[in-house]
Chains A and B, each alone.
Chain A
Amino acid sequence: MKISPHARRSTVTRNAIGVGLATGVYGISFGALAVTSGFSFAQTQVLSLGLFSGASQFAVVGIFGAGGGAIAAIATSSLLGVRNGLYALSLASVLNLKGIKKIFASQITIDESTAMAIANNDDEEMSRWAFWATGISVFVFWNIATAIGAFGASFVADPKSLGLDAAVGAAFLALLWPRLINKQIRIVGILAGLLAIGLTPLVQPGIPVLACVLIAIFMGLKNASDK
Chain B
Amino acid sequence: MEARWVAVIASSVIAFILKFSGNVVPARYLEQPKIKSITSLVPIVMLSALVVVQTFAVGQDLVIDARLAGLVFAIILLLIRAPFIVVVFGAAACAALLRYFGLTN
Whether B3 lies near A70 (C-beta < 8 A) is yes
Q: Does A116 contact B (CB under 8 A)?
A: no
Of A43, A84, A86, A195, the most chain B CB neighbours within 10 A belong to A86
For the residues of A in contact with B, the DSSP-based class is helix
Whether B84 lies near A163 (C-beta < 8 A) is no
Least CB distance from B18 to A in Å reads: 4
The answer to whether A188 and B78 touch (CB under 8 A), given A89-B30, A171-B88, is no
Whether A221 lies near B34 (C-beta < 8 A) is yes
Q: Which residues of A contact B56 (CB under 8 A)?
A: 197, 200
Partner of A217, one of B5, B38, B55, B99: B38
Q: Does A103 contact B (CB under 8 A)?
A: yes
Whether A92 lies near B37 (C-beta < 8 A) is no
Whether A103 lies near B20 (C-beta < 8 A) is yes
The answer to whether A176 and B47 touch (CB under 8 A), given A78-B18, A85-B21, A167-B92, is yes
Q: Which residues of B contact A97 (CB under 8 A)?
A: 23
The answer to whether A197 and B19 touch (CB under 8 A), given A64-B4, A66-B57, is no
- 0/1 string, B19-60, CB within 8 A of A gives 1: 111111101001101101111111111111111111111111
A219 to chain B: closest residue by CB:
B41
- 0/1 string, B76-105, CB within 8 A of A gives 1: 001000011101111111111101100000
Please list 13 pairs of residues, one from A and one from B, whose beta carbons are closer than 8 Å in the complex, sorted by A's number. A25-B83, A47-B12, A83-B39, A89-B31, A92-B27, A162-B96, A163-B92, A166-B55, A188-B41, A190-B48, A209-B50, A209-B53, A219-B41
